[in-house]
Chain A
Amino acid sequence: MPAPQCASCHAARAALRRPRSGQALCGACFCTAFEAEVLHTVLAGRLLPPGAVVAVGASGGKDSTVLAHVLRELTPRLGVSLRLVAVDEGIGGYRDAALAAGGGRRRAGTSRSPSWPTQTSSGAGRWTPTAGTGRSRACCTFCGVLRRRALEEGARLVGATHIVTGHNADDMAETVLMNFLRGDAGRLARGGGLGSRGEGGALPRCRPLQLASQKEVVLYAHFRRLDYFSEECVYAPEAFRGHARHLLKLLEAARPAQQQLGRAGLGPLTPPDQSFYLEIRNSGHLDTFWIGLPPNPSSVRSSPSPQ
C-alpha cells in the first residue's frame, strides 16, 4: 500500500505516523513538529530562562546529538547560550571512540573528574569502572553517579547556570520501572518532574527531550542527517537497566499500540502495609499494577503524569 499524504503540508508523502496523535507526517514536517514540542516543553516548564548559560551533556550518542542540535535551533527563541560538556569516564572502546568521533566536529569543554581514592587508570583525574574490584557488576552502579558529578564540574568550568541532558521518554520509563523493581520509594517519589531545581548548591538540571520517544529521537536524527556514535558500552549487557528495557520491549510487542509509562508511586497506607503502584498508559486505556494490597480506589492520591 502506498504511504498516505502528509497531514500537515499535504504536499509530500508521509514518512511516519506520530505515536501519540496518529498523524502521518513527512520528514520535514515531523522535524518541525519535534522541535516545536521541545520548545513547548522548555517554555511550559520554565526550564531555561532567558540569559541562561546552558551546559549540554554531550556524549556524542544519538540523544545528546539530537539535543544539542535542537537546542541550537531554538536558542534564538529561548534567548540562551549553549556550552557543550563531555565527560570522559575512561571506558575504553566506548567513551574514547565516541568523543573522538564527536570532538572533531564540535568544540567541547571536557570535564576531568578529580582523583577518586579507587582510581587505577593513568592520566590526570581519570577514573575507570574497573577501579578496585576489576570487571564487576558494581561498575554500572556508580558509573552514572560519578558521571553526573563530573558533568556538574564541567558545567561550572564553562560558566553554566543550567545543565541539560538528552534523556528521552523511553529512558524515563525504564528508570521508573527500575526504581519500582528495586522498591526505591525515595526515587519513585522524587521522579516524574521535568528536572530538578538543584539542591545543595547543585546547578538546576532538566531533560528537554523527556517527552520524546526514543524512536522519534532516532528518526529526527535520520531526517536531519545528524551523525552520532552508536556503539553499546561494553558493560551495558551487565547493567540492571537492561532488564527494565527488555520488559518494556516485550510489553510493547505484546500490545501493538504505542505505550507510555504513566506514573509510579506509593499507595496511601503507611509501611509495612504500604504498596507500590505502576500505571502503564496504552493509547487511552490505563492498566494499573499493584504490588502489595491495592487500596480502595477512591483513596488513591492523584499526581500529574507526563503528557
Chain B
Amino acid sequence: MAAPLSVEVEFGGGAELLFDGIKKHQVTLPGQEEPWDIRNLLVWIKKNLLKERPELFIQGDSVRPGILVLVNDADWELLGELDYQLQDQDSVLFISTLHGG
C-alpha cells in the first residue's frame, strides 16, 4: 500500500516536446495498492502526461534507450533503476540524448 506522493517530474534534451513543451511538472501521485517505484511512475506518466508518440519515450516497461534518468540529480543506475522506490518531494529528470550535437 503506497501513500500519496508529491514529486517533481522534469524533461530535458528535447524530451519535453512530447509533453507539450513543458519541462517541469509538479505531480501528486495518488495512494494505491502498488508501490510507487519508477516502473509505476512511467505507467502513470504515459497515461497522464505523455501527449504524443509514446514510442519515443517508453520502450516496454522502461524508457527508450538514449533517455537518461536522474533521481535527485543522481543516475538511476546507482539507485536500482526501475525498482527505485520514490520518496515524497523526489525530483525525477528525464534527459533525451537522441539528437545531433
Contact = CB atoms under 8 A, between A and B. Distances in A.
A64 B99 CA distance: 12
Interface string A49-70: 0000000000101111110000
Contacts of B77: 16-17
B27 interface: no
Interface string A225-244: 00000111100100000000
A4 interface: yes
Given A3-B78, A17-B78, A215 B97 contact: yes
A253 B65 CA distance: 7
A61 B65 contact: no
A31 to B, nearest CB: 13
A65 to B, nearest CB: 8
Report the interface size class on chain A. Answer: 35 or more
B79 interface: yes
A268 B5 CA distance: 62
B72 to A, nearest CB: 9
A76 to B, nearest CB: 25
A244 to B, nearest CB: 13
A166 B12 CA distance: 20
A249 interface: yes
A37 to B, nearest CB: 17
A249 B100 contact: no
A13 B72 CA distance: 11
Interface stretch (A216-224, A276-284, A297-305): A216-224
A170 B14 CA distance: 18
Given A218-B13, A249-B65, A59 B78 contact: no
Interface in A257-305: none
Nearest to A16: B75
Interface string A3-41: 110000000011111000000100100000000000000
For the complex of A and B, 6 pairs with smallest distance between CB atoms: A63-B101, A230-B14, A16-B75, A61-B101, A249-B65, A3-B78
Interface of A: 1-4, 13-17, 24, 27, 59, 61-66, 166-168, 171, 214-215, 217-219, 222, 230-233, 236, 249-250, 252-253
Given A218-B13, A236-B100, 7 more contacts: A15-B70, A66-B101, A167-B101, A215-B68, A217-B101, A230-B12, A231-B17
Interface of B: 12-14, 17, 65-66, 68, 70, 73-75, 77-80, 84, 95-101
29 contacts: A1-B84, A3-B74, A3-B78, A3-B79, A4-B78, A14-B78, A15-B78, A16-B74, A17-B78, A24-B78, A27-B73, A59-B100, A59-B101, A61-B99, A61-B100, A62-B101, A64-B101, A218-B13, A218-B95, A218-B97, A219-B75, A222-B12, A230-B12, A230-B99, A232-B14, A236-B99, A249-B65, A252-B65, A253-B65
